[in-house]
Amino acid sequence: MYKVGTLFVMRRVLGIVSSLLLFLGASAVAQSARPAVPMAGSSDFVAPLLLSSPSDSSSSKDSELALTVPPALPRMGPEFALQVYRNRASMQAEQLWSYSASTLIRAELPDTQQYGEYALQRHYSAPHSLAFKALRFNGDNFVKSNVILRLMQSEASHVEKDDPSLNALSSANYKFSYKGTSQVQGRLVHVYQVKPRHKRGGLFKGRIYLDAFTASMVRAEGKPVKSPSIFLKQVEFVQDYADVGSFMLPVHMHSEAKARIVGRAVVDIYNSDYQVTSGAALADVAPSL
């Protein structure tokens, strides 16, 4: 097991983005149910729809066909969706005890035409433990050592040291400005512009996208409000999420950075095959006294 923690004291190349997105993933909760029928307008409820086939005089009641369509989830207003998200974020922080996942990190330095791809197994245990197990690597060792391993070390270091309350998507840390609705991954979402109240590491400015029916995080994008290193001129990211049981966890992060030494760096992180342990699951198997 390759475990990274307090050993990282070098410059954090792209690491702040990864750790920021890990926190967002660990603090976003969604219900696994999705609306099967799109909502029209701003209606808060759609009644069940009963369709019956026509019958003639020779048919009996047994020949009648009735199709019942279950009601769709009510569409939330933007302020209510944001509040529900915050409540679910707090719930997930309490319930997410651990998870494991398959991780694939692809990193490219276009200016030097160098590339690396690292397959890993990650394991997180609440509240401050993140470990990686290396599976295979293909590409340039320079990319492996100076981009991918540093990113992994920085991510684990942030998990170990950071105070989640200082990075939370809360009114204490951010100002929120509603920008309307949009479609992301085939889902109707509320779009919010987020602006940090403090210029502090771990915060970002950009946009978040919440499912209009479940208030779950669908996407976050932007740039860190504070550069993680004087050697980085710009860092931008887009992070997508998916429902994993009752939790919302990150599945893909794309980031680009402009470094003063190596030029442009492009990183994609894919997480899949999540195995999650929740506090509720542990309570079910705990022996009774």
| Closest to 28 measured CA to CA, from 160, 170, 153 | 170
156-179 pLDDT, tens digit per residue, is: 988 888 788 888 899 999 999 999
Question: What is the model's pLDDT at position 186?
Answer: 93
Q: Where do the H-state alpha helices sit in 52-205?
A: 78-95, 141-143, 149-161, 164-167
Instruction: Give the global pTM.
Output: 0.75
Checking DSSP bridges between strand 2-3 and strand 187-196, what pairing results, if any?
unpaired
- pLDDT exceeding 90 applies to what percent of the chain? 53
Long-range contacts of 220-223 (CB under 8 A, 24+ apart): 220/21, 220/24, 222/194
What domains lie within the chain, and their CATH numbers? 12-30+76-273 (2.50.20)
How high is the mean pLDDT in each 10-residue block of the chain (289 residues)? 34 44 39 34 31 40 42 89 92 92 97 97 94 97 93 89 85 96 96 95 94 96 83 87 90 91 92 90 47
pLDDT tens, residue by residue, 259-284: 877 889 999 999 999 999 987 654 55
Q: Is 105 helix (H, G, I), strand (E, B) or coil?
A: strand
Q: What is the DSSP letter of 184?
A: E
Cβ-based neighbour number of residue 11 at 10 Å: 15
Q: Which pLDDT does position 165 carry in this prediction?
A: 84
Inter-axis angle of helices 15-26 and 149-161, to 10 degrees? 50
Task: Output phi, psi for 280, to 5 deg.
Answer: -65, -40
Burial-class residue 6 by CB neighbours within 10 Å (0-12, 13-18, 19+): exposed
Across the chain, mean pLDDT equals 78
